[in-house]
Amino acid sequence: MTYFIEEEKKQVNIIFLILVIFLLIVFFVGGYYLFFTKPELLDVVAPSQLRMVNELTKANFDVEEVINSPAFRSLKNYYTSQSLTTSTIGRENPFLPF
């Protein structure tokens, strides 16, 4: 007497297979468009303020002329040198208990 034992065949879930194939297609198509296509260039009109800045960048000025000008020489110096004093504010070690 012989007994035949057959292994159970695993059934392929067709919905899972279709989902995996769909996700792979979406992944590769998205990667292609992300890395290999050239984006469309947009024509943007520059605002008038930007045009004025562009004109200012073309301006030339001499530093020596500015420093030696009477308007620059008439400026007053309000800077006062303040020496830093080491005063004892607070405790020497703030983490020690009172």
pLDDT computed for residue 77 by the predictor? 86
Query: pLDDT tens across 55-76, in order?
Result: 777 778 788 988 899 999 999 9
| CB 66, CB 72: distance < 8 Å | yes
Encoded tokens for 31: 């990667």
CA 84 remoteness from chain centre = 39
Cα end-to-end span (Å), the chain: 95
For residue 53, which amino acid is it?
V
Model pLDDT for residues 71-97, shown as the tens digit of each residue: 999 999 888 776 666 666 778 888 988
